[in-house]
């Protein structure tokens, strides 16, 4: 095989090799990206200014106001106010 | 509407509320108080109704509505003052303001009264476990206050009187016509929301039939073909601009007499008494005729005002009592396609029973109602034709 032909063939093979390995790398990166979508779609961190204290501390408000039995136990005695209105309002 | 149990009024839906947008905000940020397991300590400086200060608590996320809502009829109650000012003189306003604070101000409405809780006037309590509802409940919010007249008419609670066709067949709720824009006072002009629009020239509404702004809703907002004269119904063409829609399409509705207010000597609580309420259907002259309400005849409702209504607070506080009719422009919410009036021409023509004639008005209210009393009943159709032939 003439030297010029060998050189040309070498250059073609080299480009082919580089091209294939380059594509392979890109595919792997793409697969990695789609394999872990959770990172891409995970909710953004909440704004600190509106972040609930309850997420980091005990929420005594909700503990009580979300518990029917506790509310019944702690409710002030019901005082019935008899309306003195007469007739349609 | 049955009142809620005390615990029921303040029971938060602990599963759903924390997942909502408002559930992301600390309880203390709106309600103040202290994070503490002891109830009394936790409730130190508690703010029960945070939206009373919407400018501080709601405006960060809802700036446009928070800015204009204080001028809305539900918040400012300007409709009351329009009537009170017209019937009184400034010298009597201190006493009237005291009366207003004791008896009328309880109808003032905050954001939370529509979007979180039942109105305080009705005993309060969360509608949906403190979950903020974008659309108020028709029965737990709207008719909880507007019940004795509008609610009973619209929902068909009067015996033998059908519910309004918009509810009965259309299943329409209050907010389908009375939109958030109206409720929030956004009638006052486009520029409130759309900065690119010219500055609004409209002042906030000062009563619910105010024509000076973009007052909605009207029947014609949906039934525009009738307003445009394009209806194929002959009666619409004949009467379209002379009669309000309710003259033909409404049935009996509630009128009230003589509301008097005072403070109970026994309990110290304010209370009212009304002399009576009864069903009426009365057609009279239009007291607020305008370009938007050109009708010559409208339905009138007797409102419970009386010359001595506020005598507990001072003598003759309504010294201009005759400035406004006691038979007031009314839009009964019990619309029907077919009514006794639509049965024939002479169901109304020549039928004095339907019209507000002087003999139906209390003697002491004759002057006040001079503008709405019908002097001459529209003649029966047969007579009308005979008269026309006679003239020819």
Identify the pLDDT of residue A51: 45
Q: Residue B64: how many CB atoms within 10 A of its CB?
A: 12
Q: Does B370 touch chain A (CB under 8 A)?
A: no
- B350-363 pLDDT per residue, tens: 999 999 999 999 99
Interchain pair B25, A72: CB under 8 A: no
Grouping H, G, I as helix, E, B as strand and the rest as coil, residue B318 is: coil
Residue B374's pLDDT is 98
Mutate to test the interface with B, among A51, A66, A74, A77 (most CBs of B within 10 A): A66
A89 in contact with chain B, both atoms CB, cutoff 8 A: yes
The beta-carbon neighbor of A87 closest among B24, B267, B273 is B273
Residue among B11, B24, B35 whose CB faces A71 most closely = B11
Strand order in the sheet with B297-302: B282-285, B297-302, B327-329
| Reduced DSSP (H G I as helix, E B as strand, rest coil) percent helix, strand, coil of chain A, to 5 | 60, 0, 40
Flag whether pLDDT at A52 surpasses 70.
Answer: no
Q: Choose among A60, A86, A89: nearest Cβ to B35.
A: A60
In chain B, alpha helices (H): 6-9, 27-31, 39-42, 54-57, 63-68, 73-76, 78-87, 93-99, 111-115, 143-145, 152-154, 165-168, 174-177, 180-183, 219-222, 224-227, 234-239, 245-249, 381-391
**With a cut of 0.85, is the ipTM above it?**
no
Residue A65 falls within a domain, yes or no? Answer: no
Gap from A79 CA to chain B (nearest CA, Å) = 10
* Within a domain: A88: no
**CA dist., res. B15 & res. B32, Å (int):** 22
**A52 occurs within a structural domain:** no
Distance, in Å, from the CA atom of B153 to the CA atom of B157, rounded to the nearest integer, reads: 6
In a domain, A16, yes or no: yes
Please enumerate in sequence order all residues whose Cβ is within 8 A of that of B317, keeping only pairs 6 or more positions apart, or say none. Answer: B88, B92, B95, B96, B99, B310, B311
Chain A nearest CA to B307, separation (Å): 18
Q: From residue B41, how far is each of B8, B11, B216, B345 by CA, in Å? A: 22, 19, 47, 71
pLDDT, tens digit (0-9, with 9 covering 90-100), for B116-158:
999 887 889 999 999 999 999 999 999 999 998 999 999 999 9
The per-residue pLDDT for A46 is 43
Contact assignment for A58 to B35 by CB distance below 8 Å: yes
Q: Which residues of A touch B47 (CB under 8 A)?
A: none
Length of chain B (residues): 392
B216 with B179: CB under 8 angstroms?
yes
- The 3 state secondary structure assigned to B324-350 is CCCEEECCCCCCCCCCHHHCCHHHCCC
List CB contacts (< 8 A) between B19 and chain A. Answer: none
Task: Note if the bond before B217 is cis, omega within 30 degrees.
Answer: yes
- Min Cα distance B338 → chain A (Å) is 29
Q: Taking 70 as the threshold, does the pLDDT of residue A33 lie above it?
A: no
> Does A40 lie at the interface with B, CB-CB under 8 angstroms?
no
Mutate to test the interface with A, among B24, B47, B62 (most CBs of A within 10 A): B24
**Could you list the residue range(s) of the whole structural domain that residue A35 is in?**
1-39
pLDDT of residue B208: 80
- Res. A6 pLDDT band, cuts 50 70 90: low
What is the Cα–Cα distance from B16 to B20, expressed in whole angstroms?
Answer: 7
Helix (H) or strand (E) holding B270: strand B270-280
- Is the CB of B269 less than 8 angstroms away from the CB of A84? yes
pLDDT, one tens digit per residue, over B295-305 is 999 999 999 99
Task: Assess whether pLDDT exceeds 70 at residue A7.
Answer: no
Range 6-35 of A in CB contact (< 8 A) with B: none
Which residue in B212, B138, B38 sits closest to A74, CA to CA? Answer: B38
How far away is chain A from the Cα of B336, in angstroms, using its nearest Cα? 25
For an interface test with A, the pick among B2, B27, B301 (most A C-beta atoms closer than 10 Å) comes out as B27
> What residues contact B136, with CB distance under 8 A and at least 6 apart?
B114, B115, B142, B174, B175
The answer to the question of residue A64 being in a domain is no
**Residue B171: pLDDT over 50:** yes
- The 10s digit of each residue's pLDDT in B55-86 is 889 999 999 899 889 989 999 999 999 999 99
Q: Give the separation between CA B178 and CA B186, rounded to whole angstroms.
A: 12
- Count of the separate structural domains present in chain A: 1
Asked if residue A28 belongs to a domain, the reply is: yes
Residue B76 tokens, joined? 């400012």
pLDDT at B133: 97
| CA distances from residue B235 to B232, B240, B241, B290, B328 in whole angstroms, order as listed | 9, 7, 11, 22, 25
What residues of A are in contact with residue B18 (Cβ under 8 Å)?
52, 54, 62
Are A89 and B274 an interchain contact pair (Cβ–Cβ within 8 Å)? Answer: yes
Q: Which of A52, A60, A49 is nearest to B24 (CA)?
A: A52
**Taking CA atoms, what residue in B is nearest to A67?**
B11
List, in order, residues 6 or more apart from B98 with CB less than 8 Å away.
B313
pLDDT, mean of residues A24-39? 36
- A80 found inside a domain: no
DSSP one-letter string for B28-80: HHHH-----SSHHHHTTT--S-GGGGHHHHTTTT-HHHHHHGGGSHHHH-HHH
For residue A33, tell me if it sits in a domain: yes
């Amino acid at each position: 095989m003439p030297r010029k032909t060998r050189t040309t063939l070498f250059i073609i093979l080299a480009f082919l090799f580089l091209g294939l390995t380059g594509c392979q790398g890109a595919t792997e990166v793409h697969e990695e990206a789609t394999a872990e979508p959770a990172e891409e779609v995970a909710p953004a961190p909440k704004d600190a200014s509106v972040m609930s204290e309850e997420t980091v501390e005990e929420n005594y408000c909700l503990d009580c106001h979300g518990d029917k039995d506790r509310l019944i136990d702690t409710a002030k005695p019901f005082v019935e106010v008899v309306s003195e209105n007469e007739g349609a309002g | 509407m049955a009142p809620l149990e005390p615990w029921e009024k303040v029971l938060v839906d602990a599963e759903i509320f924390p997942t909502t947008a408002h559930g992301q905000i600390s309880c203390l940020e709106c309600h103040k108080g202290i994070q503490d397991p002891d109830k009394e300590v936790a409730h130190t400086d508690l703010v029960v109704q945070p939206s009373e200060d919407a400018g501080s608590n709601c405006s960060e996320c809802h700036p446009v509505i928070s800015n204009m809502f204080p001028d809305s009829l539900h918040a400012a109650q300007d409709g009351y003052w329009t009537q009170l000012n017209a019937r009184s003189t400034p010298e009597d306003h201190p006493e009237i303001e005291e009366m207003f604070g004791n008896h009328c101000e309880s109808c003032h409405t905050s954001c939370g009264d529509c979007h979180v809780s039942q109105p305080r006037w009705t005993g309060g309590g969360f509608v949906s476990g403190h979950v903020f509802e974008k659309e108020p409940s028709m029965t737990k919010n709207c008719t909880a206050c507007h019940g004795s007249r509008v609610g009973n008419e619209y929902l068909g609670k009067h015996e033998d009187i059908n519910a309004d066709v918009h509810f009965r067949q259309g299943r329409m709720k209050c907010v389908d016509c009375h939109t958030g824009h109206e409720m929030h006072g956004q009638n006052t002009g486009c520029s409130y929301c759309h900065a690119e629009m010219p500055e609004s020239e409209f002042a906030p509404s000062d009563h619910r039939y105010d024509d000076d702004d973009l007052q909605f809703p009207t029947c014609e907002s949906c039934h525009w073909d009738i307003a445009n004269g394009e209806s194929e119904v002959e009666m619409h063409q004949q009467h379209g601009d002379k009669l309000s829609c309710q003259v033909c399409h409404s049935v009996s509705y509630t009128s009230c007499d003589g509301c008097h207010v005072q403070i109970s000597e026994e309990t110290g609580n304010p209370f009212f008494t009304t002399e009576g309420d009864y069903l009426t259907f009365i057609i009279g002259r239009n007291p607020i005729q305008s370009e938007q309400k050109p009708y010559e005849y409208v339905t009138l409702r007797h409102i419970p005002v009386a010359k001595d209504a506020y005598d507990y607070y001072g003598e003759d506080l309504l010294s201009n009592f005759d400035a406004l009719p006691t038979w007031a422009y009314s839009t009964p919410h019990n619309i029907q396609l077919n009514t006794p009036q639509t049965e024939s021409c002479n169901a109304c023509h020549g039928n004095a029973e339907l019209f507000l004639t002087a003999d139906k008005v209390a003697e002491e209210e004759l002057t006040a109602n001079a503008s709405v009393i019908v002097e001459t009943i529209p003649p029966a159709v047969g007579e009308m034709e005979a008269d026309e032939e006679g003239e020819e």
